[in-house]
Amino acid sequence: MAKLYADEQFPRKSAEHLRELDHDVLTVQEAGQGNQAIPDDEVLAFATAEERAVVTLNRRDFIQLYRHNADHVGIVVCKDDADKIRLAERVDQAVPLEEPLAGKLVRVNRGN
């Protein structure tokens, strides 16, 4: 399964459920970078150095980063969902379809 780096906006409950689905997820908080307002380009650089794809709800900014930087391990942008378990399951379904993730942008949209 995927090695992911959950940014500060990605729900903790979703990250934990992704782990239950056998993904290797490191959160910003676990990396010691929580509550520091680290710029998105630095979040992406850290994830890349750790060989992890960023998973985020911050669609607009990370899509812009994707357009200007192809040197990354992957970016997974998600539409938020009040059901955080369902959000994780949508990521779990989308990521394997795109692997390997390096240099890719994966869009995870809300289901009907």
> In Å, what is the CA distance from 38 to each residue of 9, 45, 46, 65, 108?
12, 11, 10, 14, 24
The count of domains in the chain is 1
pLDDT at 34: 84
Indicate the range of 21-25, 54-58, 66-70, 80-84 predicted with least confidence.
66-70
Q: Residue 21 is part of a domain; what is its CATH number?
A: 3.40.50
H/E element, 78: strand 75-78
Mean pLDDT of 81-98: 96
* pTM recorded for the entire structure: 0.95
- Show the domain range for 83: 3-108
